Chains A and B, each alone.
Chain A
Amino acid sequence: MSTILEVNNLRKEFGGVVAVDDNNFTVQEGERVGIIGPNGAGKTTTFNMIAGYFKPTAGTIEFEGKRISGLKPHKISQLGIGRTFQIARAFGEMTVYDHVLTGILAHELHFRPTPKQIEQVEHILELTKLAAFRDNLVENLTIASQRRIVLATALATGPRLLLLDELMAGLTFVEIDETLDELRMVNEQMGITLIVVEHVMKAIMQLCQRIIVLNYGKIIAEGTPKEVANNKTVIEAYLGEEETYA
């Protein structure tokens, strides 16, 4: 296994506020890594830096050995990093089919999609079980479906690393289970490395092999779900310090 993502001394300040505080971590190819932490811990900020939406105040990010920090989001996508957003933001006035096709065209524009590109769309619609909705307008579908469409479109760009930002927030238990199956399939069958930010603990514990815990911008723990769940610092960060009485 080789390192797909390497983050060195990554730091982001907004004015005087330190959102991400000199963090170091690496992700191996094929891994499923979770990033958790209380609100405002710097999870989404980290994502935004990896995907190019924020420029780091200091530190570097390397993807497959190539420095990507400071590049524009579309360049980073072209290099092979896909992402989804916290709030479902789909292209509302498109059919599901066109939505997924756009992900392919964004990387290789043809005025008329080639037969290979059309085949690719069909393949992804099948994989993500969206084929039945192909002619529906995205805006007429439920939030859960819209998230799946955004995920399918991210897959259409052919990423090797996917950043998933709260993909499961607000979903029902059944939908969460479906999404977990889908993500495992993406990881195992398509060989895509996953980094997941999630508040639904049950989901992240089931899905991820390794979890990084952030608090106030700093990494406070790292390990398997079990290790993290039993870590004293983590429990304190989430539940507050135990008060001791003399």
Chain B
Amino acid sequence: MVDTVLVKNQKQKRARIRNLIILAVVLGALAILPQVTSEYITYVAVLAIIYAILTGSYDLTTGYTGPLTFCHGAFYGVGAYTSALLTLKAGFPFWVAFPLSGIMVFIFAAIIGYPGLRLKGHYFAVTTFFFGHFIYLVILNSVSLTNGPMGLRNIPPPEGFLGISFTSLNSSYYLILIFGILAVVFLYFLVNSGFGKILISIRENEELSEAIGVNTSLYKVLAFSIGAGIAGLAGSLFAHFFRLLHPTTFAWMTSEMVVIMALVGGLGTLIGPIIGAGIVTLILELMRFAPEYRFIIWSVALIAILIIEPRGLMGLVRRIQGGKK
């Protein structure tokens, strides 16, 4: 008994050291990336980081708490447009518009989630699907506010401070990397906290969770809104990095892509969806030569993943490591 505990502790220690080494290598690679690669790859990396924030926040809602949603791209869009319009039309600095866009989307999602989350399972999923499409149509057609299909241009970059300006590609890459790391750290602590355990209990068995005293409707709305709020922040980053917005960026395809990224990595593992975001972004770029076929190949790949390993890459890793499930 004591021996097995010791072996287990040693194994855990070794696994922790190995994970730390992997983390250090990945962070190191991301830190030197703009110095050693081309501008194009840096752009792709920025997109991957923004998608990682988006998919990580999706995992909080769907992977950890349970309700399947298809409107994460819409929250991303509301955040992007809120931030862009606050800076363009109201003259707010980025550093004010950025947190406001997150708070705005949080409140927005709470208003949707409070009545919506009374619906269970597929019914809620279908509701979010239509809601996401509704948001897209609003962005597309509110020409006086969002400039509709013409999009928004000349969105200001984040204002510099301490002599650092965020007009160059490299400096804004580092800004986004820092935000990405902050978002992942925040999500990591959240899902591993007492709050996270309550969320997992809802995912595993909502009825029992209620029986032990969890106000499940409140926590579901909270998880949904926090996930949405972070997606809104990712949208704000997107708007001020690329400095132009178009409604199609936030159409159904984006919500679908978030779901695919999360599934590729493995829902409910946090690290999985983040890796998934990186891989999917990369493959989408590699397949630029055949844009019409990308999503066809994707769909086939997705079906294959769901059949072979529904828990995604993290499920495969666990299987290789000899875990039971």
* Residues of A in contact with B (beta carbons under 8 Å apart): 51, 53, 72-74, 77-78, 82-85, 89-94, 98, 101-103, 105-107, 109-113, 132, 135, 137, 139-140, 150, 153-154, 156-157
Contacts and interface: CB of A to CB of B under 8 A. Distances in A.
A137 B205 CA distance: 15
A157 B212 contact: yes
Contact of A74 (B205, B213, B268): B213
Given A106-B198, A112-B193, A137-B325, A85 B210 contact: no
A78 B213 contact: yes
A110 B193 CA distance: 8
Interface in B293-325: 324-325
A107 B213 contact: yes
Taking residues whose C-beta sits less than 8 angstroms from the other chain, chain B's interface range is 20 to 34
Closest 6 CB pairs of A and B: A77-B213, A91-B204, A106-B213, A111-B193, A73-B210, A105-B194
Given A106-B198, A110-B194, A153 B204 contact: no
22 contacts: A73-B210, A74-B214, A77-B211, A82-B211, A85-B211, A89-B208, A91-B204, A92-B204, A93-B204, A94-B201, A98-B197, A102-B200, A102-B209, A102-B212, A106-B213, A107-B213, A109-B194, A109-B198, A110-B194, A140-B324, A154-B212, A157-B212
B215 interface: yes
Nearest to B213: A77
Contacts of A110: 194
Given A94-B204, A98-B197, A106 B212 contact: yes
Contacts of A106: 198, 201, 209, 212-214
A75 B56 CA distance: 32
B39 interface: no
Nearest to B1: A132
